[in-house]
Amino acid sequence: MNETIETILNHRSIRKFTDQSLSEEQVEIIVRAAQQASTSSYMMAYTIIGVTDPEIKKQLAEVSGQFYVEKNAHLFVFCADLSRIKAIEASEEENKMIEENLQSTEQFIVATVDAALAAQNAAIAAESLGLGICYIGSLRNDINRVNEILELPKYVYPLFGMVMGYPAHEPEKKPRFPKELIYHENTYKKHKETEQYVKDFDETLKTYYANRSFNTRHDTWTKQMLRKYKVPQRLDVGPYIKKKQMNRH
């Protein structure tokens, strides 16, 4: 095993940070690592916002309901961003086509994937420097408010945040599904035993939650997913994205 693989396999989300801040060089190298991720058709269809203003951090923490959005060394917001294509100098005719294209589901996926790949590169770069990270999807608890706080233009939406800093706790690694469920060879394999795999995984996770060194609880994967999916989720996100002129057709 090499150091890169070790870093990747050692991942766990960090939600408590020491007071130590990041140096400018650290932030710069992390952003450069993010930027070096592969990018669909060389579009680089994302923007990373580093939130350093404590007031803005506080407002974003209120949206997320999670204290660590405020209490961290650095908060990044990864935005899917098609606005630069819109800014290209083009004829009226070309502009009409560009706009038509930018509003497609395909381009929405392109920008979303680009932003996610950049983020994961940033995460691994940070972890390789001994920092901890946690993605913050809860910014989408009120995506319109985040849009307002960060003053995002048309064709730009906030995909998620990422908090970063020196870890002040050492959570155990969270188990993952067995490889057989995730990796299929050649064609999609419907496992007759999927239900059994999930039952076994529930047991694994139950043991993990019962024995971990902080925040122990009685829970399983099935229970978590049920809690989440039996209620509507962030129904304002769809209309918001359309309002941003994205994912319209």
Residues that bind ligand FMN (CB under 6 A): 11-13, 15, 66, 134-138, 160, 174
Residue 162 is encoded by which pair of tokens?
Answer: 């990422």
Minimum CB separation of residue 155 from ligand FMN in Å reads 21
Nearest C-alpha neighbor of 108 from the set 71, 144, 155, 143 = 155
Residue (11 or 84) nearer to ligand FMN, CB: 11
Amino acid at 9: L
Residue (173 or 199) nearer to ligand FMN, CB: 173
Minimum CB separation of residue 137 from ligand FMN in Å reads 3
Nearest residue to ligand FMN, by Cβ distance, number only: 137
Residue (160 or 177) nearer to ligand FMN, CB: 160
Nearest C-alpha neighbor of 157 from the set 238, 57, 66 = 238
Residue (12 or 86) nearer to ligand FMN, CB: 12
Q: How many CA atoms lie within 13 A of 25 on its CB side?
A: 1
Residue (136 or 143) nearer to ligand FMN, CB: 136
Residue 17 is encoded by which pair of tokens?
Answer: 């940070």
Minimum CB separation of residue 68 from ligand FMN in Å reads 7
Alpha carbon of 117 to those of 36, 48, 111, 176: distances in Å? 10, 12, 10, 20
Residue (177 or 248) nearer to ligand FMN, CB: 177
Whether 136 and 160 have beta carbons less than 8 Å apart is answered as yes
Minimum CB separation of residue 54 from ligand FMN in Å reads 20
Whether 244 and 80 have beta carbons less than 8 Å apart is answered as no
Minimum CB separation of residue 160 from ligand FMN in Å reads 5
Minimum CB separation of residue 200 from ligand FMN in Å reads 18
* Residue with tokens 């067995």, as numbered in its chain: 178
In whole angstroms, what is the distance from residue 224 CA to residue 232 CA? 15
